[in-house]
A and B are shown apart, each in its own frame.
Chain A
Amino acid sequence: MLMEHKEYYLTIADTLLILGQRLSEWCGHGPAIEEDIALSNVALDYIGQATSLYKEIALKENLGKSEDDYAFLRDAWEYRNALIVEISNGDYAKTIARQFVFSTWYYHFLEALEKSNDTFLQGFAQKSIKEVRYHFQHSRDWILRMGGGTEESHNRLQNALNELWEFTGELMTNSVHEMEAIAKGVGVDNVALKDTFDRIVSAIFQEANVSAPADVWMQKGGKEGKHSEHLGFILAEMQFLQRAYPNSKW
């Protein structure tokens, strides 16, 4: 059965799955055990949220697929995630900087999605926003701590923002699939979130004595399936088992 807004569901789900997969790389490598646990917990929340969306797609498509089919058996060009989640983790400052901008956008995205006229997405947003509140707080605290910490932590954070910034713009754009969903009252207008995003981010950056680089040309295309070379490597690792040993379970 053809599912309406499938690509819209995938845009959200893929973005969460890939970020969850990226954060999982810190498991066992965190700078402190508390941070190791924190990022693993955040990763689990994202992967759980993605799972519930894939399950809903499977239910609506009714093709006998499971959530795993969407995660493990699609190639890079079929993924609809924003580019910011696929770029490499870098150092802890870069990982945290990404967490902060991502959670700021995602929190407000979910707040708007609670008003979607798609009842599943409404429930998904109500559920997820409670978790994302904690993710936001965690990353915000670290931005303040690194920005106001030693010269090295401050410089690392500023460098991270310089490297990361070109990938932030895509979050506040609407892809073709998102525009279709917005037109039906299902999707969230990301462009409308930009003012709130800018206001919150610049207030925290000011407090942390760092700044977002000005006049950056923004990368985009991930949400339309045009990805950086990084995504292929993530999928190769994530999908290896199902590709090498189809239908294996444990």
Chain B
Amino acid sequence: MVEVEADLIWEYLKMVEDPEIPILNVIEMGIVRDLTWDEDKKKWHVIITPTYSGCPAMKAIEEDIIEVLAELQVKNVVVDTVLSPPWTTDWMTDEAREKLRSTGIAPPEKGSADKGLLMGKVKDIACPRCASTNTIMVSQFGTTACKALYKCGDCLEPFDYFKCI
């Protein structure tokens, strides 16, 4: 019985969007890590992990999870946040990456443990519009904590790059 409900809840959670990138849901983002049932207290625990510590969307995501599940008659829900293992862009599915590209956000390169960053290396990022790699980083910090600001040297459009973490 609990297993059946768990499968359902996993499906329901796909209806919770990332407020900053609504094209992706919290499952595709890899934000929801686990779902457990506490038999003693009769409560579901949805375990989530933040993308960035300072991501203001996390509070909204927590509330949205409770709200969406409540609407679907799952009312005894607690959301717990864990930091370990730390969220990484490597957990994003290929499908999620493609969705990002289609909305004009360059998806993160694979390989998050990027020590090259400390040495000042900058990666070649392909423009999400014209696929040119003739791009330059304008700022390491973009419109949200998880994005950097780039500009394409060929189509001249500015774009967001979902940076690796």
Contact = CB atoms under 8 A, between A and B. Distances in A.
Interface stretch (A40-48, A174-182, A218-226): A40-48
Interface residues of A, number: 33
A128 B84 CA distance: 11
B112 to A, nearest CB: 7
A122 B84 contact: yes
Contacts of B84: 119, 122-123, 126-127
A133 B140 contact: no
Interface in A99-156: 107, 119-120, 122-124, 126-128, 130-131, 133-134, 136-138, 140-141
Contacts of B163: 134
B82 A45 contact: no
Interface residues of B, number: 29
Interface in B120-165: 120, 138-143, 145, 149, 163, 165
Contacts of B87: 127
Interface in B70-84: 81-84
A49 B54 CA distance: 7
Nearest to A129: B86
A141 B138 CA distance: 13
Interface string B35-75: 00000000000000010111110000000000000000000
Interface of A: 34-35, 37-38, 41-49, 51-52, 107, 119-120, 122-124, 126-128, 130-131, 133-134, 136-138, 140-141
